[in-house]
């Protein structure tokens, strides 16, 4: 697998329907990751230093740390 496409800080690496790991706002201190499928992209800029903000199909909102598939 191409490791470049796993960077959650770059918007073009994330598509609706992608399986990702996100960190929620209330878990930023612990770094606890939540896995899910992207429902909506909430960050409009092409990149973000802390990760692109997305909403998962489970309605969880967080910043993408890893793109799984």
Tell me the pLDDT tens digit for each residue of 47-65: 999 999 999 999 999 999 9
The domain segmentation of the chain, as residue ranges, is 3-67
How far is residue 43's CA from residue 48's CA, in Å, rounded to a whole number?
A: 8
How far is residue 38's CA from residue 57's CA, in Å, rounded to a whole number?
A: 6
Instruction: State the fold for domain 3-67.
Output: SH3 type barrels. (2.30.30)
Q: Is 2 exposed, middle or buried (0-12, 13-18, 19+ CB in 10 A)?
A: exposed
Tell me the pLDDT tens digit for each residue of 12-23: 999 999 999 999
Of all residues in the chain, what percent carry a pLDDT higher than 70?
93
């Amino acid at each position: 697998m191409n490791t470049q496409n796993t960077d959650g800080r770059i918007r073009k690496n994330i598509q609706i329907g992608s399986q990702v790991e996100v960190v929620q706002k209330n878990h930023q201190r612990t770094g606890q990751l939540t896995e899910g499928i992207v429902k909506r992209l909430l960050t409009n800029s092409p990149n973000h230093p802390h990760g692109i903000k997305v909403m998962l199909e489970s309605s969880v909102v967080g910043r993408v740390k890893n793109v799984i598939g």
